[in-house]
Amino acid sequence: MQQLGKHHLTEHQFAQLIGKARLYNYLPRGEKLTIPELQLNDGQLSTVAKDYYQDEPFCRNEDGNINLWKVYNLFTQANKSSYIDTFLDRNVNAFDFSNSLLKTLSGSGNYHWFLS
């Protein structure tokens, strides 16, 4: 978890991530199977995008960058609107997804689709 705070997404990468995450649910099934799962829905992704600008503890830096710890917290915060039966699974998915973004930024991992 400490490593998440040491790696950043630029504003462009964050925007790319949100845009691709919104497209994810509409991908053809075969294509979707080749990409790691992200369990947040469109409403939750809208909350993440809004909080990128407005949530004081976890918003972007002055230069527009945001570290992966804050991204993870934006995901889990948006997940609070989930029903109890999906809450835990989505929180685990948010953690796994954030760690995989870290691997992708370090040059390995298969989450590059979300950032390209």
The pLDDT tens digits along the chain (116 residues) read: 789 999 999 999 999 999 999 999 999 999 998 888 999 999 999 999 999 999 999 999 999 999 999 999 999 999 987 777 778 888 999 999 999 999 999 888 777 889 98
Which pLDDT score, from 0 to 100, does residue 17 have?
97
Q: Where are the domains of the chain?
A: 2-115
Q: Residues 67, 6: contact at Cβ < 8 Å?
A: yes
Which pLDDT score, from 0 to 100, does residue 82 have?
72
Q: What is the pTM of this model?
A: 0.89
Question: Nearest-5° angle of CA 41, CA 51, CA 115?
Answer: 60
